[in-house]
Structure 1
Amino acid sequence: MDDNFKIADAPAAAEIPVFVLSFRQRDEVAAAAAGGGWRVVAARRPDGLEQRFLASGASVAVIDARGAMSEGLDATKALGAAVEAHGGAILILVSQSDTVHMRHFYDAGATHFLGSPMSSAAMAHAIRFAHRHVDRLARSRGQTSGAAEPLGWRFDAEMRSLQLTPGLANLLGLSEAPGLLSVMRRLDPEDRTLVRTALSRLGRDHGSTAFAHDLPGVGRVVQHLQYDHEAGSLHALVEALGVAPDASVAVRDALTGARDATSARRWIDRQLGEGQTIGVILIGLNRFETVNTAYGREAGDALLRGVSRRVAEVARAQLGQAAVVARIGGSEFLVASPGATGVQLAEAEARLEEAISRPFVAGGEIAHLGAKMASSASVAGDSAASLLRRASEALLGDAVPVEPNAPPLEELANDLHRALERSEIGVRFQPQVAIASGQIIGVEALARWQHPQLGEIGAETLFLAAQRAGLEAQLSDHVQRRALTAAAQWPSKLARLRLSINVTASDVGRAGFADSLLGRVDASGFPRARLTVEITESGIMADLTEAARLLSQLRAAGCRVAIDDFGTGYSSLAYLKALPLDYLKIDKRLSHDITGAHRDRVVVRGVIDMARSLGLAVVAEGVETDAQLDLLAKEGCQYFQGYLCAEPLDVPALANLVQG
């Protein structure tokens, strides 16, 4: 769906919302619908589907069932009655081979369907026909079409004028043409930052985006933004997620027995507003997704329930019955307690770590988990957002290990400007070996800082210091440039090796980064076809949409792409299907685990089998023993890197190793 298409004879379409539900390709389908001129409210999950459809003000729902037939049929059944009651239409997108099942969608309430392969133009016309169906129904009933009056606004950059829809103006108690500052003052400082970040994502190549926040007088909302380059105006649909009563306030998360993130934040804000001090502990489970892969989703859900019970037991034993437990992400939990001191939080952390480290039963097997934790206590002026942000920063800061005996990060951060200016930071190359043949087929470039007083400092500590100094982008550019320049000048005996370089989470969010990186590659003279770009799980999940776009651009330009350190994050395996990947690199901790208990080997086997089923080559990192290599080979791993072959080497040592 890459046609640059817009309906020329439907000027009113720009004012008409369309609701899109796509389980696999939300952004692509939303872009195609937006290309037809409609205001798009897009969703990837079916949670609260009827409520979200009605709140969107749309009269046409597009359900993308390609590769998700059962989910698509369930969604159609969930929406059928509401769409029929409001005289709407449901357009189903299906693969051509699945059109034989359209009878079931018809019975569930679908009114139109479109089979793939399909162009953006075809989909836009299908939506247009569905709207004609809605209009005819409305005329026959003597009604106007539409499920509800949409909430939205429009900003004219040239005139500096803001216009609200009547519905939004009434909810906010403002005029329909308020001043921009009067609206911005209604937002918390954190939400103003969200607005600025969302606006910065809009460009000529990316005309739409969305963000969620709390809007006074409305509740939790998603703002769906679209920028019209020709008119120079910005349009937004405001999807009010809190139109219906929030059941999560009264009913705990059915999956885990814990509160959800929204209700936990409300509880914290309420306690802080009453003058209470609050202590919080954030818990991020390690290896949950790899266990989930090995034993299945049902076992994973049972595992989360078990974790929740243990966390709640420890929290209330250590912090009192008033302690609140919330599941705030796929495998992240929050403990919050009024009046908790730093000592109490530290003791609770130790007990929680011990409780989670005890074995769980998953899918009839014994499963082991670990957890990273961070705590924070409230200070004067805190909100739930600021308190949790401090705890989250502490958790992320601990997530990347610093080398033993490394100096304080603040000291390194102060020295980093000088290090970049004096070219103290270079690269070493660690070989990657084909297990079947024993041949070195590529290398990964790893940063090394030759500090004049402290000696050699590795990449993990180096990039943590760069984050602290606000120099992560400059450091990433420097390391990539040094690696490419060195590889372009390799001697002939290295001329067939592939080069892997790393991009960071901050690189993913940088405007125009793909073009900058490709320009750097071409300027170095190193061939794109021999370059692999690696990105970590955390880098992908920081902004999944931007990461997918970046990897697609790099892959289309002739590079290969890899997900690095797989098995350490808290993300879902489902995103792998949607990303343009060539390699999956197993984190060194999983490589080490394979020589442990049988259950550890089962987890590694599940990751390798999953990767191979998706057509991804598997590289095991951190391989140090023959026993590890032998078991990885038996499970189907194709490549490895680690000290079993060699440490990271300079170019002469690498050439000698390859030649020898």
Structure 2
Amino acid sequence: MTVMGTETATRAVRLPDDMPGTAANFAPPAFILSFANRDDLADAVMRSGWRPIAARRADGAPARFLASGASIAVVDGRLDFPESIEAMRSLNGPAQTNHAALLALVPDAAAVTLEAAYDAGATHVLAPPFDQDVLGIHLRFAARHADRLAGSRLAAHAVEAPHDSWRWHPGAGYGGGTVIVAPGPNLASDTSPRAMLRRLDAPGRRAAIEALRRIRATGRPTAFAHDAADGRRLVHHLTIADGTDVVFGQIEELTSGPRAEPRGDALTGLADGTGARAWIAGRLADAAEPGCVVMIVGINRFDMLNAAFGRSVGDSLLQGVARRIERLAANDRAGQRMIARLASSEFLVGMAAPAGPDDARFLAGQIAESIARPFAAGEHVVTLGCRIGIAASAAGDRASADLLRRASAALAEAMAADGDAIRMLESAGEAVAERDARLEIDLRRALARDEIDILFQPQVDITSNAVTGVEALARWHHPVLGELGAATLFSVAERSDYLAALSGHVQRKALAMAAAWPELLAKLRLAVNVTAADMVRPDFAATLLAAADEAGFARSRLTVEVTESGLIEDLRAAAGLLAELRAGGVRVAIDDFGTGYSSLAYLKSLPLDYLKIDRRMSQDITGTTRDRVVVQSVIGMAKSLGLSVIAEGVETARQLELLAAQGCNSYQGFLCAPPLDMAALTRLVTRWQRR
């Protein structure tokens, strides 16, 4: 067998039953994935009677779980729940196949949180607050579940040592004592720690010594990794037996076969610009199937985030972005994908032929959506945005610099433009306008093909904690690019002078769907968005009221939400239109307040019922003192004018607590639920009422 990159001969000698630490060392393994609390959680799991195999990164988690031999996988989602959901989904298949339990540590016990964990494959959940004893009991529940499925599999683990493991009985210093290497129940060989350490390369030796110092000082599980002589990457998971100084190590192989290409970026572990350019050059020169498409992902306003939160938080965010891009862009076929960090906040994703522009556009949409989900960085919850530029190689391309230059130009266009966050240049001769023109043609066909769907995001009354309404949000199910959000959809419509037609279609469809809701949803309010194109139509108010009547939806349950951009051209005309809608029984809200001009004249001059503060303001409530003062002032001003306040984009319980303290009336956001179809909305309201 291989230990620390060396081969050892085996000899059949069984460990004595009375050897100190034997029972603890042969305890059943438990696989742990925790993005921020690995060592603390591993310590708690060990003290509960399991041998922890712990990881901080989700990359390769299914393979690592299978290699651990564990019948329990613990996924810690208390700090980054969206990432933990993705990790649970990746572990669900291996867990089912191997009759294992999947215990999710979730941030709260809200119904939507538990539902998300259930849908991702969790068999057990545990929400804070909990202590060591409660965690131990939940692990025992999970073990019983796995034991029943697998036929006493845990009992077998309890008497059988891991296949790649070692035990250190310390003597003087880190070179004294004895190391025993054990495959299965048989001992392999014993040697001195000093001799074992000499077999490691210099970085591995330093890592091993530091890990041994940590575990002897704290008694808590830890790990170290090193490169074996044959090119494999090995990690040693260390535990210490209660009441003894015996250190037990289990070895996990992270890579197999030839060693992967070296990574050039120390912060993220990705390739650097040099590696990216070499990969592009190789794809362009490929004799069998030359060509590739590359995208550059730029994080919005990252310099401001660094200044606001500090370098350490910024570095943590970049690492989080890198991991999310890796999960989406990784490919099993060697050399087919390249993921690199080019600059401070720019990442490259390369896709080798036969992948083309449509594949890149689809992947770019997934990446943009993933990065838009909140990140946990230390004590902060930070929301990021990104812009993406895409360029495809052309027949005459020979240099990687040409392709990178076009991708950079596409990114610059994306950064400068409103609306769609993705820009594409397929070749030197194709303008972005040509691609946009295709989408404009597709949009006109989309209405006829019924590709535009409506989802509903719940709005919750803060005082009663009841779901009282929903906002209708459009989604475009593009036959090639997949699901496109409202921002892309309405941006294409605005360029094609098709905005009024699309807006009317979405409003009528939302009204018809809401009118057909089951009795459980029959009292919910429906909010529909009104665009700038709607505001300039002299017959718009009459048309919308007639559409509600025709659908059989009560006007008293309808709210129109108009953005600031729809008001700035003619405030007097806007006031007249909104007054006509209110006279017809409809309520009126200013949407996304705080993103545009935010003119106080709107609040003073317009007939309004609600003010909806933008998601960034909702998240600023937990930011700096200055951020909080701005949000508090906006809410106080609205309340003094007799307006109800709805907060958008509420993601955390802390945000909700502070918004409620300032007098906010309602909220919507992922803390309650993402946009839902009718079936999912019905289930959510049912659970909410039971609470």
Report if TM-score (shorter chain) is over 0.5.
no
Alignment TM-score, normalising by the size of structure 1 = 0.39
